[in-house]
């Protein structure tokens, strides 16, 4: 393939000889084997339509700065169709095998749902054709149930039954598109599902409605034979003051309470984790140990800015932690991937920056995979955990784990134990050395 619509050559692997090259991969090699699988199969990178092809690089106080090669096209439908070609050229040039979109990312909205659906179908025809030509796969699609003023009080949790019905109708068509395009997953992000003020909110009724909405989605998927994995994407706030799917733990509690936990898993996002007061690793770990890891929105937050800035992931420490969890799980959920729900900074406004930003994200995750794989290979963290909880492997500790201990049996073990002996039973964690060792793994694994 030569230069494409974007005027950029296919992104090559350049290794680490020229560490400053911005249009080449330093670590990501699709077919390189790591821990028994190719990098491509571990990472399953996806490009997000909304950020890459619609986003104008605005921030809450600033207009868009983006310069894109299709900016001169003014007719909305013509632009929508042209963007599909630009998008597929982008995927191919970058070498990312998956893409993701919201219904309203790809086609202009009409005045009625019927008109919007017709617009959507025209663009989906083009997407389907380009998928056949290129072999590109849809990691997930979703419906945008948050931008329009009709959703200002929520979609599935709106106090208006009419708006609830509209959201249901919109979702129905999105599920049909998921089936048509062979989506691996289908995502529900409830940006407006929550409340601004609890005094005027019937929390119980809104949660019930949200669950009904999800049950209807499961039923319709069965009806049309859609086998995509359903995912909830937690976020604590923004744009809504309090969002119901606050974090992984809250979303899992909701799914269990409404008997939806067999049909849904989670799509976790780095910046959302931070907004909830967690690390990305915390969210991935929480989902992993519950068997609920579905997919990942690979971005990162900023310690100093309080909103969802959707920065491309570059923090090697964080990508290492996330990939350590993914390796421990044997993969990113049954059918998940790493979707770059991320945008370049406002000051990185050229079309080329869009490539550069994705390359950084792909390299950061490829490098994180390499480091985490080495740590697993050595059983480094596994060994630390084994030692730390060893007292539960034998004696009365093992009885607790077997479910055999009682308050009385345990009291008998410690009734006369001197205070210092209890402290001594703990041992030092040498936490600083642990962190230093992780640093050493990073330097060593990437040098090999």
Position among 189, 213, 214, 264 found at the interface with ligand XLS (CB under 6 A)? 189
Position among 52, 119, 142, 229 found at the interface with ligand XLS (CB under 6 A)? 142
Q: What is the 3-state secondary structure (H, E, C) of 99-157?
A: EEEEHHHHCCCCCCHHHHHHHHHHHHHHHHHHHHHHCCEEEEEECCCCCCHHHCCCCCC
The reply to whether 269 sits near ligand XLS by the rule CB under 6 A is yes
Binds 89, which of Ni ion, ligand XLS, none (CB < 5 to 8 A, cut-off by type)? none
Contact 298, 339 (CB under 8 A): yes
The reply to whether 105 sits near Ni ion by the rule CB under 5 A is no
CA 315, 320, 323, 324 torsion-angle sign: negative
- Residue 341 Cβ vs ligand XLS, minimum distance, rounded to whole Å: 5
Per-residue x/- track, 311-350, ligand XLS (CB under 6 A): ------------------------------x---------
The answer for residues whose C-beta is within 8 angstroms of residue 28's C-beta and 6 or more apart is: 13, 39, 43, 359, 362, 363, 365, 366
- Residue 351 Cβ vs ligand XLS, minimum distance, rounded to whole Å: 21
- Residue 308 Cβ vs ligand XLS, minimum distance, rounded to whole Å: 5
Residues numbered 53 to 92 that lie near ligand XLS (CB under 6 A) are none
The pair of three-digit structure tokens given for residue 170, joined into one six-digit string = 């919109």
Q: How many residues make up the chain in this entry?
A: 448
Please state, in angstroms and rounded to a whole number, the distance separating the CA atoms of residues 371 and 27: 11
Per-residue x/- track, 11-30, ligand XLS (CB under 6 A): --------------------
The reply to whether 105 sits near ligand XLS by the rule CB under 6 A is no
C-beta closer to ligand XLS: residue 95 or 270: 270
Which long-range contacts does 298-301 make (Cβ < 8 Å, 24+ apart)? 298/270, 298/322, 298/338, 298/339, 298/340, 298/341, 298/342, 298/361, 298/365, 299/269, 299/270, 299/271, 299/340, 299/341, 299/342, 300/270, 300/271, 300/342, 301/270, 301/271, 301/273, 301/274, 301/275
Question: How many residues form the binding site for Ni ion (CB under 5 A)?
Answer: 4
- Choose among 144, 167, 160: nearest CA to 54: 144
Residues acting as catalytic residues: 102, 105
The reply to whether 99 sits near ligand XLS by the rule CB under 6 A is no
Question: How many residues form the binding site for ligand XLS (CB under 6 A)?
Answer: 10
Position among 105, 193, 283, 297 found at the interface with Ni ion (CB under 5 A)? 297
Please state, in angstroms and rounded to a whole number, the distance separating the CA atoms of residues 263 and 36: 29
Position among 184, 283, 341, 353 found at the interface with Ni ion (CB under 5 A)? 341
Binds 142, which of Ni ion, ligand XLS, none (CB < 5 to 8 A, cut-off by type)? ligand XLS
Position among 44, 104, 180, 235 found at the interface with ligand XLS (CB under 6 A)? 235
Q: Catalog residues that contact ligand XLS under the rule CB under 6 A.
A: 102, 142, 187, 189, 233, 235, 269, 297, 308, 341
């Amino acid at each position: 393939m030569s230069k494409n619509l974007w005027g950029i050559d296919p992104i090559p692997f350049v290794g680490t000889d020229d560490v400053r090259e911005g249009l080449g991969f330093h670590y990501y090699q699709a077919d390189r084997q790591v821990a028994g699988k190719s990098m491509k199969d571990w990472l399953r990178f996806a490009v997000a339509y909304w950020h890459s092809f619609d986003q104008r690089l605005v921030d809450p106080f600033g207009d868009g700065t983006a310069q894109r090669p299709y900016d001169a096209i003014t007719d909305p439908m013509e632009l929508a169709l042209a963007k599909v070609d630009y998008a597929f050229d982008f995927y191919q040039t970058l070498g990312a095998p998956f893409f993701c979109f919201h219904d309203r990312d790809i086609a202009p909205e009409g005045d009625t749902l019927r008109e919007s659906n017709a617009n959507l179908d025209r663009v989906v025809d083009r997407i389907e054709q380009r998928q056949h030509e290129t072999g590109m796969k849809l990691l997930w699609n979703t419906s945008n149930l948050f931008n329009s003023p009709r959703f200002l009080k929520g979609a599935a949790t709106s106090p208006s039954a009419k708006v609830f019905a509209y959201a249901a109708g919109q979702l129905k068509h999105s599920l049909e598109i998921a089936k048509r395009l062979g989506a691996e997953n289908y995502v529900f992000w409830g940006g407006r599902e929550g409340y601004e003020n609890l005094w005027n909110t019937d929390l119980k009724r809104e949660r019930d409605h949200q669950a009904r909405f999800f049950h209807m989605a499961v039923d319709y998927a069965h009806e049309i034979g859609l086998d995509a994995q359903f995912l909830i994407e937690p976020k604590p706030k923004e744009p809504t003051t309090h969002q119901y799917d606050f974090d992984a733990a809250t979303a899992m509690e909701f799914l269990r309470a409404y008997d939806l936990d067999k049909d849904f898993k989670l799509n976790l996002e780095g910046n959302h984790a931070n907004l909830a007061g967690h690390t990305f690793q915390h969210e991935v770990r929480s989902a992993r140990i519950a068997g609920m890891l579905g997919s990942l929105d690979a971005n990162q937050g900023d310690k100093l800015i309080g909103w969802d800035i959707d920065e491309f992931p570059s923090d090697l420490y964080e990508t290492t932690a996330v990939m350590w969890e993914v390796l421990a799980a044997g993969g990113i959920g049954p059918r998940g991937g790493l979707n770059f729900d991320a945008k370049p900074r406002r000051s990185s406004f050229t079309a080329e920056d869009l490539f550069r930003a994705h390359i950084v994200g792909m390299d950061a995750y490829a490098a994180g995979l390499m480091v985490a794989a080495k740590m697993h290979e050595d059983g480094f963290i596994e060994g630390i955990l084994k030692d730390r909880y060893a007292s539960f492997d034998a004696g009365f500790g093992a009885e607790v784990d077997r479910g055999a201990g009682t308050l009385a049996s345990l009291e008998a073990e410690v009734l006369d134990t001197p205070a210092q002996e209890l402290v001594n039973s703990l041992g030092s964690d040498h936490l600083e050395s642990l962190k230093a060792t992780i640093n050493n793994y990073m330097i060593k694994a990437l040098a090999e």
